[in-house]
Structure 1
Amino acid sequence: MAEQPRLDMARSQVFGEVAELYDAARPGYADALAEEVLAYAELGDRTAVEIGAGTGKATLPFAALGTPLLCIEPDVRMAEVLRRNTAGFPRVRVQTGRFEDWQPDGRRFGLVYAATSWHWVAPERRWDLVHDALAPGGAVALFWNPHGTRDPRLLAALAEVDRRHGLRQTPHSASASDYGQTPGDWADVLEWPEEQCRRDGRFTDLRAVRYRQERYYDTERYLGLLASVSAYRVLPPERLERTLADTAEVLDAHGGGIAMDQLTDLFLARVR
């Protein structure tokens, strides 16, 4: 699988503009995911490192299971919300900065994980950085939560709005029926990490898991979700307003919301 072009770094810096909206609108991950990852990692009392923790959508399920966590978040505004959300978990520490600039300082960790953030890490360095942070046998867990629209008529109507406003790869641009049983079968823009990990050669016991659940967003909540997505955040304000208004018009004409399949696709590997 060919390496995909790295996403524009400017897009990785826009989430902090709407940190509170991001926290309120973004969905979490499959309920069973944290337990699956921890069972694989056999972490014990060792600390886990989270790359690009955001406001804590994936942090809280691990923290609730008692996991010692070091959360690395590049945006100070997102980190502020993250600290507030994890205030009740004394084993969670938050460090502001880019994963590429973070120094383990000789420490070796039992788990490094990234929740919808791996694609923001420099592709030419990320496997080296993860390997250098992990103890022998330590685990890496990478996961995303793509969506698929269930109603074909709504999908077509939203596709016309996206085309008119020059948007591609929006949360609703795939059909729920497009997804099969194979984790990563959506990865035509963001490379699924398995092949690159195999080529690296320093990791073993590669596994992939898919979870699926149904979600329904009413118009207001779905617009909030879209407004937290980088493809929308980089639009000029007037264009963003028009795009969301046109999307709302379509959603309201189709029952006032959108029914979706949310997948959680998980990739696991461990240091040899």
Structure 2
Amino acid sequence: MSGVFGPVAGEYDAVRPGYPDELRAAIVAYHGGVPESVTEIGAGTGKGTALLAGLGAPVTCLEPDPGMAAVLRARFPAATVLGVAFEDWAPPPGGVPLLACAMAWHWLDPARRNRLAHAALAPGGTLALVAHHYGHADPAHGRALLAAVHTVDATVTERPEGWFRDDVARSGLFADVTTHVARRAPVFEAERYLALVRTFGPYRRASPEQRAAVEARLVGMLDGLGGSVTMDLRTTLVLARPA
């Protein structure tokens, strides 16, 4: 993940949607109160940090990308930001009470992420994973976006919504796995929609020529829609505790 988003850290922070405040209450209720501290994996520019900082507990962020970490530090000067990947981080003795990850679970080593998370948590601690599913009010618009992305990489597929719940549950390392879903319908004007796509991983890894092809197709789609897209933005929060 390090280096993919750093060059567009400012744009990422400006156009990526944040997380609904209602999820904060779900975390507190599940944990049984405000945790003593929070550790966030792959914090990026702080979209998830904003949700977590509102808990009122000290926050430590793990963010290996220097560009993303610079924006994160500027936004949250009270947070402790460590420029380290989760796989290389050494949790404190006794573990952490709340380990969170927002839109970064898929970037972690799938063979190790659950085991490392389990080992990092204190007894009775909480794992909190949150992610957006960027749906469209009109499914045809979503298919058009995927078709545009396929001009860059035909192997790209959408992960099933809430896939990370199954990932955690199947590991056998966690108990009381619960899910909360928040749904919104923001309208993205053409330029913001294009800016959002420019922060997606497949686009970031593409060549300049491939990026131009993606944008050309999307501009044509947006022109046909009157210059805006209504999203079906579904945010899933998965909570679990060590078994």
User: What TM-score comes out, normalization by structure 1 length?
Assistant: 0.81
Is 1:24 the equivalent of 2:11?
Answer: no
> Does structure 2 retain, via aligned residues, the 8 Å contact 1:154–1:251?
no
Q: AA paired with 1:27?
A: P
Match of 1:252 in 2: 223
Give, in angstroms, the shift of residue 29 of structure 1. Answer: 1.6
Give, in angstroms, the shift of residue 200 of structure 1. Answer: 3.5
> Does structure 1 retain, via aligned residues, the 8 Å contact 2:40–2:61?
yes
Q: AA paired with 2:161?
A: W
Give, in angstroms, the shift of residue 158 of structure 1. Answer: 4.3
Match of 1:269 in 2: 240
Distance in 1 (CA, whole Å) between partners of 2:139 and 2:120 is 45
Counterparts in 2 of 1:1-272, with a 5 A limit? 13-42=3-32, 44=34, 46-87=36-77, 90=78, 92-155=79-142, 157-158=144-145, 160-166=147-153, 169=156, 185-186=160-161, 192-272=163-243
Give the secondary structure class of the aligned counterpart of 1:124.
Answer: coil
Q: AA paired with 1:123?
A: P
Give, in angstroms, the shift of residue 208 of structure 1. Answer: 1.2
Distance in 2 (CA, whole Å) between partners of 1:77 and 1:164 is 28
Give, in angstroms, the shift of residue 46 of structure 1. Answer: 1.3
Q: AA paired with 1:100?
A: E
Give the secondary structure class of the aligned counterpart of 1:100.
Answer: helix
Distance in 1 (CA, whole Å) between partners of 2:156 and 2:57 is 34
Give, in angstroms, the shift of residue 30 of structure 1. Answer: 2.2
Match of 1:180 in 2: none
Distance in 2 (CA, whole Å) between partners of 1:264 and 1:64 is 18
Aligned residues: 243
**Distance of aligned partners of 1:206 and 1:161 in 2 relative to their CA distance in 1, 3 Å threshold:** closer
Q: AA paired with 1:186?
A: E
Distance in 2 (CA, whole Å) between partners of 1:207 and 1:258 is 31
> Does structure 1 retain, via aligned residues, the 8 Å contact 2:103–2:132?
yes
Distance in 1 (CA, whole Å) between partners of 2:153 and 2:168 is 33
Give, in angstroms, the shift of residue 198 of structure 1. Answer: 3.5
Report Cα offsets for 1:108-128 as digits up to 9, x if no partner. 211101111111111221122
Give, in angstroms, the shift of residue 63 of structure 1. Answer: 1.0
Distance in 2 (CA, whole Å) between partners of 1:127 and 1:166 is 28
Q: AA paired with 2:72?
A: L
Give, in angstroms, the shift of residue 211 of structure 1. Answer: 1.1
Between 246-255 and 133-142, the greater mean CA deviation after superposition: 246-255
Give the secondary structure class of the aligned counterpart of 1:58.
Answer: helix
Give, in angstroms, the shift of residue 153 of structure 1. Answer: 4.9
Report Cα offsets for 1:176-203 as digits up to 9, x if no partner. xxxxxxxx8536xxxx234443443332
Distance in 1 (CA, whole Å) between partners of 2:143 and 2:164 is 30
User: What TM-score comes out, normalization by structure 2 length?
Assistant: 0.90
> Does structure 2 retain, via aligned residues, the 8 Å contact 1:51–1:99?
yes
Dislocated runs of 4+, deviation >6 Å: none
Cα root mean square deviation, aligned: 2.2
Give the secondary structure class of the aligned counterpart of 1:137.
Answer: strand
> Does structure 2 retain, via aligned residues, the 8 Å contact 1:144–1:264?
yes
> Does structure 2 retain, via aligned residues, the 8 Å contact 1:29–1:57?
yes
Report % sequence identity: 40
Query: Is there any run of 5+ residues in structure 1 with no aligned partner, and where?
Result: 1-10, 174-183
Report Cα offsets for 1:159-186 as digits up to 9, x if no partner. 554454545658xx7xxxxxxxxxx853
**Distance of aligned partners of 1:246 and 1:143 in 2 relative to their CA distance in 1, 3 Å threshold:** same
